[in-house]
Chains A and B, each alone.
Chain A
């Protein structure tokens, strides 16, 4: 089992909080898509023998800036080059890019899941983030997607916008849940390096919300999604029990994935690696040596920490046996003091061979994970 991630590194405009790799110039688009197709061929062996591809994920950037034809070409390459048992093909899309005709075309090339970058249902917040869409477009597009037959729909929301009270966030969540999407990804607004927001914060024209304020919004998110029957299957991901994102879940479960395109990361089951995060350089590298990939060799400790960090964030928890298989270490024995203390304080629960974060543990996941690090 394996997945393919394809990074589309273009955006119409830069969101003020975003530090992902993208370019707002579309000049290199055609050449870059050529290289994506090329990389799909040159790195065919990365996933190895076990790599029957079940999921494909077009992320970005803004994949909806690609025409159905361009996406279709990539899909064709994948079909030609890989062993497939496709169950989930996701496209990240912005509300302002979509219309019924496009949606139908995407569907026809095999896309069966849409992840919509809604972020907020308040225009003032969207403007502050420098998003290209508004509330009415968001509401329309959700209906449109349903009408076009996309049964698997995910909505992205951002919480933690600084505001005197929680009214905006409660309203955002209320509208989102009233649309009954199968899946919600929700992230806290954070100051990432080299973003407009960080620059504003440095200059003092913007001050982020307090830790307590953001924590309260996250707790509200946990409460509301749970009440509506969503499963908090990962720290920031919530889904109807039948609509867990397969591709994303595999990130947490340690399933191998191949990352194609500038800045895309890959994982072969043991080691990670990444592509160069720069469009012209990516193209140049691809032309010169057929790959833009740099493997990252993890030491035994780093491997262990990698698994601790990712597994703890999920509903499946950290599995003692899997940990042992991966590292040759018994975490119950080596971290007995830390585990005891963490469970006494009810930040984790230990059930048979699994360690899970408790509800209050979820808010402190980083601290807990690093206490278990090797």
Chain B
């Protein structure tokens, strides 16, 4: 296969702008998938992804497309659509020469799309703008086209009008891919240099590595090496990706494919790593490799303390196919044995929690999510703080630093006021304000990551009636006055409810948390004092009055069995509660902090 006949491209789109449907049409049009095999949103094959309408893990698929009497090979590389996975997006982009920029003709460009678009432009990708959903009554192709032209500096006639749903513009898109996306460049005779852009876990075959060859060729049975991990393998099977995998004897520079080499653990496969031959290694690795670092940390505990070992086994299995999930055992006085987990972001955290529930039938309690703070100690050492319990004593450190991000928000002009107000409440500093069109504005803020991971995105959606979009990138650590806020029930600290918060917000936080707990902790045989404290200083207090009466008056003869069963059932229910001192705390109370409004 000649490199001139290969096109590698990806799709950049905002959630629900119709990427998956459009991709389906491309596959159907090229007969890559038969109607019988056709399922809606073919690329999103995890249930979870389909329900959320987003692609969590990227995949790739190869199409054959005849154009002016020649057959072209089109490799479509799918990209995840959420900020939590921006590193994976960057690697997918690095594997391509072109990108379809898909924009909903009724909604315009969103913040996440812009950041991915810039990423693509930064990698010199040829951008093919596509206005999707032009069949919708609310579509404003002219307005949105203006926006796109401003953004990427293209001409009006470069923009393709399409509707995935109606099958409009599909052929135009395929033709544009062939005509406009440059063919890959590389040297088939040079030492093997391929980049891993994704991996898929297959319980029967081990980890399937998805790669793009930049130089050289790879043959079945070759001894190969992953440069960054230093691990060596045998290429048991290589091939290209259709709806089914198609094994190949050899593959050449410019192509995209999969590799199976008996790897059991996802952690060994690092996205962005370089594959080369053991005997004749390439002299340079592919640029841009990073070890993915968790951004958000939280404790995960089994609801039933006896399920700890089962939870550990489930987490280990999850880690097999999700290398970005990191964890270590943690003990909480209130929740027992569990795990301190690191996630790429809040969505990632939710996904892990849901996967634990769906795939492993584990019900878990997740504690207050936190970012990683740094304490500059008196001896000038830096201590990392991943959990409230890591917070050093006040007299042992000079100051605390917290991660800041540059957040860009695109919103309708009508909502600029409320958005700015929200960001200020979240300790943001406004840095820039640009009108993309007459009524769409891009706002930039410097904000603490800790404020964003919490409930910021939900709030942003609410105040902008769902229209604002958000993207952010880490810009470093800044000194902040953070304190640890503890919660006590009848004087007993509840470690699982502690949180690191900014001093200026501690009072409000403490007050709201105490109020919320008062609603959730049921009346018991004694009065319960709920207190929030910084160090030894109590800053908020609520009281749950003692239960006055808990006795069924009518109880004789036959009622006894019924009543015994009732009480036995209640007692079982209580077992699911957690004991703090003598106070019984229901599960929901530990989640209360996640929803304080």
Contacts and interface: CB of A to CB of B under 8 A. Distances in A.
Chains A and B are bound partners: yes
B557 interface: yes
Interface in A199-242: 211-212, 214-215, 218, 235-236
Contacts of A263: 558
Contact of A366 (B552, B558, B560): B552
Contacts of A214: 549
A364 B525 contact: yes
B555 A370 contact: no
B52 interface: no
Indicate the size class of the contact surface on chain A: 35 or more
Given A5-B557, A263-B558, A310-B560, A373 B567 contact: yes
Contact of A370 (B548, B559, B570): B570
A336 interface: no
A306 B564 contact: yes
A302 B561 CA distance: 9
A235 B556 CA distance: 11
A131 interface: no
Interface string B565-588: 001101100100000001000000
Contact of A186 (B553, B556, B559): B553
Interface in A243-257: 248, 251, 257
Contacts of B523: 211
B36 interface: no
A350 to B, nearest CB: 17
Contact of B567 (A5, A265, A274, A370): A370
A362 B548 contact: no
B561 A211 contact: no
A369 B523 CA distance: 17
A367 B555 CA distance: 15
A251 B555 CA distance: 10
Contact of B558 (A188, A248, A265, A345): A265
Nearest to B559: A265
Interface in A330-348: 341, 345, 347
Interface string B529-562: 0000000000000000001111111111111110
A309 B555 CA distance: 10
B553 A366 contact: no
Contact of A306 (B547, B552, B560, B574): B560
A109 interface: no
Given A212-B548, A309-B560, A363-B550, A345 B526 contact: yes
B575 to A, nearest CB: 11
Given A305-B568, A345-B526, A211 B548 contact: yes
Contacts of B563: 309
Given A5-B557, A251-B557, A345-B525, A309 B552 contact: no
A209 to B, nearest CB: 11
Contacts of A235: 551, 553, 555
Contacts of A186: 553
Contacts of A368: 525
Contact of A365 (B548, B551, B561): B551
Contact of A259 (B558, B570, B574): B558
Contact of A305 (B558, B559, B564): B564
B577 to A, nearest CB: 13
A187 interface: yes
A155 B560 CA distance: 22
A285 B397 CA distance: 81
A187 B552 CA distance: 8
A363 B549 contact: yes
A272 B570 CA distance: 21
Contact of B561 (A306, A364, A371): A306
A190 interface: yes
B549 to A, nearest CB: 4
B551 A364 contact: yes
Given A364-B550, A370-B567, A265 B525 contact: no
A142 B551 CA distance: 30
B558 A363 contact: no
A116 interface: no
B313 to A, nearest CB: 31
A152 interface: no
A215 B548 contact: yes
B568 A190 contact: no
A225 B146 CA distance: 87
Interface string A42-69: 0000000000000000010000000000
A347 B547 CA distance: 13
Contacts of A257: 557
Contacts of A174: none
B552 A274 contact: no
B558 A218 contact: no
Interface in B263-296: none
25 contacts: A211-B548, A211-B549, A214-B549, A215-B548, A215-B549, A218-B553, A235-B551, A235-B553, A235-B555, A236-B553, A251-B557, A251-B560, A265-B557, A265-B558, A265-B561, A272-B560, A274-B561, A309-B560, A309-B564, A313-B555, A362-B551, A365-B551, A367-B525, A370-B568, A373-B568
Interface of A: 5, 59, 186-188, 190, 211-212, 214-215, 218, 235-236, 248, 251, 257, 259, 263-265, 272, 274, 296, 302, 305-306, 309-310, 313, 341, 345, 347, 362-371, 373
Given A305-B568, A310-B560, A313-B555, 15 more contacts: A188-B553, A236-B554, A248-B556, A257-B557, A259-B557, A264-B557, A265-B557, A265-B559, A272-B561, A274-B561, A309-B560, A364-B549, A364-B551, A366-B550, A367-B550
